[in-house]
Amino acid sequence: MTLNDSDTFITLNNCDKLTDMDTIDITNLLILLNGIDIDYRPYLHLPENVTFGLEMETVGMRTGRLATMFKNKENWQVVYDKSLKATGAEVVSPILLDKPEIWREVFEVCDFLQNLHLKVNYETAGHIHLGATGIVDQDPEKLKKILKAWCAYENIIYRFSAGKWSHLRRGAIHKYAKPLAWDYIQLMKILDNGQGDYFDVVRAAHFRRFSGLNLQNLYDYYRASIDENYRRDFVTIRGDKLKDTLEIRTPNATIDPVIWQNNVNFFAKFFLAAANDKFDEDYLNNILKSLDFNFIVKYGNAINLTYENYEKIDFDKALELADIIFDNNLDKINFLKQYLGILTSNTLEKGKEKTLEKKLTF
């Protein structure tokens, strides 16, 4: 059953404050979450200037063979990723916008990959690039607020990022998408020491290339705009493309379009809320001061304790976050359903992802 088919106690277009619900309402909410599916939508109501890109890591076919089969998928690329084994490949989207024709395209690509019987596992990830224009806009205060909000709610972010799976891909996460809060005490001292310009903030954070939130692209893009030698070296000698994007590296891989759309919706609206002062900064500072940094260490057995801590459900904090970043009940329900791991048979069958042909209605 979908939300549109259900007779619920919640009006989807309204924005009820979940943290004000009493015990009966919370019980009804949990019953609702267990009984409905996440719909695949024609659009997410993102601002027109917000762009995103997807990186779909898969296993089951070599890069060259998959690239040959992708020739008819305009502007989508298949590239080699050294983090994957020989039979893995990464599918990279062009720059995308929140439009029905784009979401149809994402659906068709996922359907194509599923029909090839490709798979995802605990070595694969589903990275998202969000365009900085429309979110950060080279404003140092906006970027600092995003970093603070990320670290304050990092445990919620990582559990949500697990997608359909009950656990984080711990080995790959620790190698390629470390929690940013590990370094936040030092980073906070840098960011809060005076105002600083945009480049100061990006420079302070960019070296965390393999963190869950990667700002390396912001650093390269901005430095190239003010340093011609750096731009020439980056583009001409290294042959790379400059991308003004924030890269989210936490999500587990998926070839389910519903999960991709739900991930984009959550991260885009999280960053927009942080950049536009939806989070109370004093409250964020209090959360950060109260974090148990005994879990947040880089070495020894505490690594596993950190991930165990991040995999635990913090229901009250998740409700709190949903109230802050979303302006409608539909977004809140879809977020909570994935965060709690309540994903029904329409999106998961016997542990394998399947096509969702009947759900594409636009």
In angstroms, the CA 346 to CA 1 distance is 9
Specify if 154 maps to a domain: yes
In angstroms, the CA 210 to CA 216 distance is 9
Q: Is 304 exposed, middle or buried (0-12, 13-18, 19+ CB in 10 A)?
A: exposed
**Number of structural domains found in the chain:** 1
Specify if 10 maps to a domain: no
DSSP conformation class of 39: P
Residue 191 pLDDT: 66
Specify if 25 maps to a domain: no
Task: Tell me which H or E stretch contains 138.
Answer: none
Specify if 290 maps to a domain: yes
Residues 31-72 have pLDDT tens digits of 999 888 888 999 999 999 999 999 999 999 999 999 998 877
Residues 332-347 have pLDDT tens digits of 999 999 999 886 534 4
Specify if 23 maps to a domain: no
Lowest mean pLDDT among 70-84, 120-134, 310-324, 335-349: 335-349
Residue with tokens 């943290």: 19
Sheet holding 126-131, edge to edge: 77-79, 88-92, 52-59, 126-131, 245-248, 213-214
Q: Domain range for residue 226?
A: 52-359
Task: Please answer whether residues 136 and 218 qualify as being in contact, where contact means their C-beta atoms are separated by less than 8 angstroms.
Answer: yes
Q: Please determine, for residue 354, whether its predicted confidence score (pLDDT) is greater than 90.
A: no
Task: Tell me which H or E stretch contains 278.
Answer: none
Residue 165 pLDDT: 79
Which residues neighbour 178 within 8 Å (Cβ) at sequence distance 6 or greater? Answer: 208, 210, 211, 212
Tell me, yes or no, if the pTM score tops 0.75: yes
Specify if 312 maps to a domain: yes
